[in-house]
Amino acid sequence: MFEPNWYAVVGAAVLAMVLGFLWYGPLFGKQWMAMMGFTCEHVEEAKKKGVGKSYALMALGSLLMAYVLSWTVLSVGMIRPLLGVTHVGLLAGFWSWLGFVAPITLGSVLWEGKPWKLWALNSGYYLVALCMMGVLLAHY
């Protein structure tokens, strides 16, 4: 039975959280807020309510995503044993994004009226996160 490297799984989850902090903060935070229709007042109000529970749930989601991705990395490595370790991780991350994240998140554009740029920003985060996590998991 497959037993993941739990240090790598936790590391990949932390990596996704750090990327999210940077992605939705200094890198694209202002653009994301504008496309979501958030103001500085919205952010301050959310901070007053407390975001600890939201961060805890996001961390749990990232941990689950890393664990499942570790299975995908193993599967890709078994199917394509001649690929380098980094390529295995990138392929696992990319195909997971393309097959699951990209189609599911299209609903925000198609049914919720969100702009394509917001979809690109949000799904771009998951593309980068899954590829980075895949590479980390493939190496350990």
- For 76, the domain range is 6-139
HSE-CB for 60 with a 13 A CA cutoff: 6
Average pLDDT of the segment spanning 98-122: 95
Reported as a single tens digit per residue, the pLDDT across 5-63 is 999 999 999 999 999 999 999 999 999 999 999 988 888 888 888 888 889 999 999 99
Residue 1 within a domain: no
> Can you give the pTM of this predicted structure?
0.92
d(CA 74, CA 113): 38
Residue 129 within a domain: yes
d(CA 69, CA 74): 9
User: What's the number of domains the chain is made of?
Assistant: 1
